[in-house]
Structure 1
Amino acid sequence: MMKKQHQYSISIDHTQNADGSVPNDETFTFDFSSHDELFEIIEKLKSREDVGPEKAAPLALGIKLFGSVMLANKRDGLFVDLCPHFATFMKKLKQKKA
């Protein structure tokens, strides 16, 4: 039996170029699933002094997206050396109190 997952959709809008000009309507949207409820994770990270409200969402989403790709390909040469370090980072992140 497959475990139910939370379903999410991410949309990225390119709102300004480096030179200050406004790009054409460039948007990228994709869907993904997670066993974690991401809004809860973001709220927890907001209260951490070493993360804070401004960095909470980018950090949570970055970890979840990267981590799921890495774990799905953990035996691939691209990720094999990184897996132990990622695991150590996640343990530290989860242990540290707000």
Structure 2
Amino acid sequence: MENENKRFNKYRIQLQEVQKKDGTLGDQLLEFEFENHDDIFTIVEVLKERKLFDGVDQTVEFAVGLKLFSEVMIRNRNHPLFEEFAPAFGQFMKKLKGGNK
């Protein structure tokens, strides 16, 4: 089992609710660890350089969200939920990696 983990980078995410849309202070905290086959920090830096979106924060949101989602999809590739979506996602990733805006 230890050899399996060497194929993955391990990360921890902490999501803190700062303010609710009604203006009240948030008080919730979500923290979890996960593994990913990619170096997410490198991906974030590459996408920042490409300036895909207005603002660095949007780029970071996109990169982290995409890597969280795609890793779950890869690990569950036979799940019926992804059946119709997988081909379109594959095309999307090719476009993203190709550098097209």
RMSD over equivalenced CA pairs, Å? 1.8
Contact 1:11-1:28 within 8 A present in 2 as well:
yes
- Residue 94 of structure 1 deviates from its aligned partner by 0.6
TM-score under structure 2 length normalisation: 0.85
Residues 1:68 and 2:68 aligned together = no
1:18 is matched with 21
1:90 is matched with 93
Contact 2:10-2:33 within 8 A present in 1 as well:
yes
Q: Distance in 1 between matches of 2:70 and 2:78?
A: 14
- Residue 77 of structure 1 deviates from its aligned partner by 1.5
1:40 is matched with 42
TM-score under structure 1 length normalisation: 0.87
Q: Distance in 2 between matches of 1:22 and 1:49?
A: 32
Find the partner of 1:7 among 5, 10, 17.
10
Q: Which has the higher helix share?
A: 2
Unaligned runs of 5+ in 2: none
- State how many pairs are aligned: 97
Render the CA deviation track for 1:46-95: whole Å, top value 9, x for unaligned.
Answer: 12232352322111111111111112222221111111111111111111
- Higher deviation after alignment, 46-55 or 11-20: 46-55
SS at 1:9 equivalent: strand
Render the CA deviation track for 1:11-57: whole Å, top value 9, x for unaligned.
Answer: 1001111110113x310000011121111110110122323523221
Q: Distance in 2 between matches of 1:17 and 1:53?
A: 22
